[in-house]
Structure 1
């Protein structure tokens, strides 16, 4: 993007196309330096349980450790506190705990960052959050999918499996200051779902995965020998989905047929079978310290307990449908268990009494975000049809409800009593915040409602659609009644952002082909007299293409690089959500091209939205495909 000024206006180029952004008559001086305010990551809402395994553990510090997006989270449930490891540049994919219970290894997928965007492993200290080693930059393909520390030698070796077509398995020597690869081998052309050093056999590694893969590897110097698991006389499953170890060295596996097989220590044959214990696949088998065993089903959502001789004890529980199936089981503190679920939740409790949610999240692409106008709460909605109201102080879900359609956009009525929610199908809903009931619903067009916004006085609701139109409704009865009064027609691409003027007389809009248009309300006519809108005071700053946000556009931007912006309520700072997993903080106004900024990482996907709380104490950001919500403290 080049910037040039003519009579105060700014011209920027997006995809080689000149965009004119009109300046106010008196231009407030724009500070091109970064703001004095900064952001500090305070809380991560979400857990990656939908498609990851072996990602939830209990630490001696009293914290649970898990990951979401590019952040590894250490959460103290009792103290309602989180710490965060943010060394990764993209999705964290796997996690292993060192035998010392202090160090951990985490592996990531290929990412945005050129320098450390390649798949790699980071070994770090959970007490200090200090990175100790970065392994394998240039060695791994696509992503790191499995990790395990050796047990008998005190954790001096690490086994790593990547997502190469042959799922290359490598072993690394960690006893040196600079870890070195000892050897590697092609492990399987099928998906590898687990790889573990045997806790009682020094050079033994077990892997399992797709097409009934069950392999017993022996590390001999700098090479491997392999024995395949023999399933006879039992049916070979499509997937061996998880493995665990009994205290005597037996290997326990769960598979896609709902069977648990016990493989006696030192052998590659099945010594005992517990068949058909789950309807559908088993995603996790956990051996507890007292010798009892738990298995978790994905489809049937059940947790079943067995004694140390693998006989059912009669204790079992079923997770609520809203939580999903069991993804990961682990022993917590004082007989408690931790349950990670396929719907991105974490539960804690006992299998014979009650399991309570301690982490909840969305489970599909997330775009909708709105801050409450007078409380420390915010609303999110996503393609999973879920609407969650969150409390930023207690860091928890206040309530959840499910819509009939995937949701994409949301906003609060000025008094916070209702919220409008736009769907992916052209239908939109008005939700009563107190009862969570749908007050009314309407349909405009058959394409996605990209953005929704009430006028500051609450008299109007504007809905920007993917069909290029903006639909305008008159609002009465305190946000309960809606009547269509017209639509704004003139954009040649889908509407992306909206702002109302402070007096509700004008609306401005951006579109997918980088237009900025102005509309008179309530007539819905386009205002083409630029002098009429130069000095309009805008109630919000959501439009990405305006004079006061010109500086957020990077050089050579293609127009989709910035997904959303939000001006703070005090008008001092501007936050942007970009396509590279970053949240950016600028001075406001931000009219100088290439304005300096603070950059914050944590998301692994495109950042879809940002919103300041009503008192500017916090900034919220949402990740698209990472489905996470990050809560940032604004530090003055």
Structure 2
């Protein structure tokens, strides 16, 4: 019987590739100017800019929706979303200790935005659409001071809150047709708003900035212009630019402290990063474009260098003096469906997500290559034994072969499966000049292909094996290349004789099989699927040997056996990585970190790491908890 995660030692998370670029204002630079701070699923990542070492703050139960860093750098605050009817936590973290300092729970469903007062004394938290309230917290006392609805009933949702630069008793909120300037009365435990008067200028504000002397509030709008509001008269002073508005709205706005002249750094929904004059709102010549909509801009120091994040989960570093940019981080924008290692290579791996295949260097912690096939989903990938080719399965029914060094398309097998290719595996034959591929389709067929790699590349269909009645979910080939096993959503696993091209054995179960593996000696196969069980089966006659409860909630989508055959790693809808002793069937380690359903996982050939990929777009690297002869 599986133990609960509380009873089992925790896996150590070594590193994580990617960040949630869709979180508004989610990317921050710590005041020490040495670390980046950003959300990844339900965690906060603190990454060293020089050596890329990562620390993880774990405590949220769902996706992080907003992040704030105090002016001194002592605290980090993060808010999350949850399910309808439940409370959403705000966690304040001690930066030095990398631990929870306080947890505040008042808002419903979602925390929209956070802001620290300039002396780190107070924290303002803004609830989302289903909550609509703003609460001021005393950090030292770890208690709420007061709260109030964030907007009048006639106005829409409030999206952003910001404290004044040198006044701990003034803050501003803005949103859909509402801009309010608040005063905090700690003695009487009250916050009092004054609605800014904008006349006929009705706007939706998603970001705001306050001038250094607190005299003006600059509001970035979804219509692509900027409103300047006086904090004394509460009136709109000017609107601009008159010409050349930012298309798809202004998402980020920052006042540049390093310049004597008044300048604002703008990030727009069309990917534009630009400097505008804060008095005229006219654009300067410093303008750049990035891929995707800008979601965050984080200044380093006085703004001599800054970082830009986009909704494509890409991060850019800008040098202010010449306004040049370089891409420093990329991540998968959506679910990662498969992960694979080259044969006997543990430093590199490949992942596929949506219409992209990526090659990663795990030691350097960066993306080496990206292969894109626009608007077509890649379902599965594998490397040839010699590492000269990436074989990929695509939803348009094609098998595509790419060079891993350059990403160049080598060959395409058209119409491999009429309802899309759902699984793929390569067959190794020593000294062969041909590449053999086993593919599985959504229609249930298993096909064997040969590709001539010398001269002009050609392909030939060798066999069609049709006994599955539903999608083939996984394929594993025996070391000698004479047999393979396939799992299917129809509740069967079939062992195929690849020389005779017939079924050797079949396994039936009341489940939708998601993955299958051979044991090290290949005398047994291990299965998992929608019934939450890990099954041991004899490969000779298909008899069941053992069944473990692999998951308490949801199906198991990914599973792998360690190279020495002593351990199993599994993961699925419960978002947990579990390590099992193969012979004893005992759960010995659990990895907590993913915020989305785990799709696939692999143990590295040197048995030092476990790689897991999930719906949250994260590629997580876990330290393998046991030594082996492979290290």
Q: TM-score range by the shorter chain?
A: 0.7 to 0.9
Query: Match of 2:114?
Result: 147
Corresponding residue for 1:9?
A: none
- Aligned equivalents of 2:555, 2:274: Cα separation in 1: 48
Structure 2 residue 87 is matched with structure 1 residue 87: no
Shift of 1:329: 1.2
1:540-619 matched pairs, under 5 angstroms: 543-544=527-528, 546-547=535-536, 553-554=549-550, 561-589=555-583, 592=585, 595-619=586-610
User: Gapped runs of 5+ residues in structure 1?
Assistant: 4-30
Change (3 A) 1:37 1:208: closer
2:301 equivalent to 1:325: no
Cα deviation code 1:387-431 (max 9, x no counterpart):
211111111111112113122211111111111112233233111
TM-score, normalisation: structure 1? 0.84
Find the aligned partners of 1:372 and 1:561 in 2 and give their Cα distance.
27
SS in structure 2 at match of 1:80: coil
Unaligned runs of 5+ in 2: 508-516, 529-533, 538-544
Q: Contact 2:579–2:590 at 8 Å: present in 1 too?
A: yes
Looking at structure 2, the residues matched to 534 and 302 of structure 1 have their Cα atoms a distance apart, in angstroms, of 51
| Offset from partner CA, 1:560-618 (integer Å, 9 cap, x none) | 5211111222323222122122222222356x3xx323111221111111122332222
Larger mean Cα displacement after TM superposition, 188-197 or 268-277: 188-197
Alpha-carbon separation, structure 2, partners of 1:312 and 1:542: 65
Q: Which residue of 1 aligns with 2:540?
A: none
Change (3 A) 1:633 1:273: same
CA-CA distance at 1:162 after TM superposition: 2.5
Residue 316 of structure 2, aligned match among 347, 351, 364: 347
- Residue of 606, 624, 628 corresponding to 1:634: 624
Q: CA RMSD in A?
A: 3.4
Q: Does 1:185 align with 2:149?
A: yes
1:30-66 CA-partner distances (Å, limit 9, x unpaired)? x999999974212221121125334323331611111
2-structure distance, mates of 1:550, 1:187: 60
Which of residues 161, 171, 180 is equivalent to 1:205? 171
Q: Which residue of 2 aligns with 1:463?
A: 439
Match of 1:407 among 362, 365, 378: 378
From 21, 24, 29, the counterpart of 1:52: 24
Of 205, 225, 244, 1:240 maps to 205
Match of 2:329 among 359, 367, 390: 359
Deviation at 1:307, TM superposition (A): 4.6
1:24 paired residue number? none
Q: Distance in 2 between matches of 1:269 and 1:34?
A: 56
Cα contact 2:264–2:275 (8 A) shared by 1? yes
In the alignment, structure 1 residue 66 sits paired with structure 2 residue 38? yes
Q: CA deviation at 1:85?
A: 1.3
Alpha carbons of 1:494 and 1:225: their partners in 2 closer, same or farther (altered >3 Å)? Answer: same
| More deviation, 246-255/200-209 | 200-209
- Residue of structure 2 equivalent to 1:15: none
Identify if the C-alpha distance between structure 1 residues 229 and 223 changes in structure 2 by more than 3 Å, giving closer, same or farther: same
Change (3 A) 1:315 1:82: farther
Alignment check: 8 A CA contact 1:59 1:65 kept: no
Shift of 1:266: 3.1
1:167 matches 2:132: yes
- Give the SS at the match of 1:596: strand
| Alpha-carbon distance change, 129 to 111 in structure 1, aligned in 2, over 3 angstroms | farther
Which of residues 238, 245, 249 in structure 2 aligns to 1:281?
249
Confirm or deny: 8 A CA contact 1:70 1:602 kept in the other structure.
Answer: yes
Q: What is the CA–CA distance in structure 1 between the aligned matches of 2:62 and 2:198, rounded to whole Å?
A: 38
Could you give the per-residue CA deviations for residues 534-565 of structure 1, whole angstroms, max 9, x where no partner exists? 999449988535417966634666xx521111
Matched, 1:229 2:196: yes
Decide whether aligned partners of structure 1 residues 150 and 300 sit closer, same or farther in structure 2, where only a CA change above 3 A counts.
same
Contact 1:407 1:423 (C-alpha < 8 Å) held by counterparts: yes
Higher share of residues assigned strand: 2
Q: Does 1:135 align with 2:104?
A: yes
Return closer, same or farther for 1:539/1:459 CA change in 2, 3 Å cut-off: farther
**Residue 191 of structure 1, CA deviation:** 4.0
Deviation of 1:91 (Å): 1.3
Measure the CA separation in 1 of the matches of 2:525 and 2:146.
Answer: 55
CA distance in 2, matches of 1:535, 1:617: 19
Structure 1 SS opposite 2:12: strand
Deviation of 1:103 after TM superposition, in Å, equals 0.9
1:22 aligns with: none
C-alpha contact 1:280 1:299 (8 A) present in aligned 2 = yes
Q: 2:222 maps to what in 1?
A: 256
**Map of 2:531 onto structure 1:** none
How do residues 17-32 of structure 1 correspond to structure 2 at under 5 angstroms? Answer: none
Distance 2:83 2:182 in 1: 31
State the distance in 2 between where 1:342 and 1:36 align.
37
Structure 2 length as normaliser, TM-score?
0.84
Match of 2:459 in 1: 482
The alpha-carbon distance between structure 1 residues 502 and 534, as it changes in their structure 2 partners (threshold 3 A), is closer
SS at match of 1:140: strand
Q: CA shift at 1:172, angstroms?
A: 2.1
Once residues 495 and 443 of structure 1 are traced to their aligned partners in structure 2, the CA distance between those partners, rounded to angstroms, is: 16
Find out whether 1:431 has 2:425 as its counterpart.
no
Cα displacement string for residues 421-472 of structure 1 (whole angstroms, at most 9, x for unaligned residues) = 1223323311111231112222333434332111243853122222222222
Instruction: Mark the CA change 1:326 to 1:430 in structure 2 (over 3 Å): closer, same or farther.
Output: same
- 1:258–1:281: 8 Å Cα contact kept in structure 2? yes
Q: Runs (4+) of structure 1 moved beyond 6 Å?
A: 31-38, 533-536, 539-542
1:230 to 1:618, Cα distance in 2 relative to 1, 3 A: same
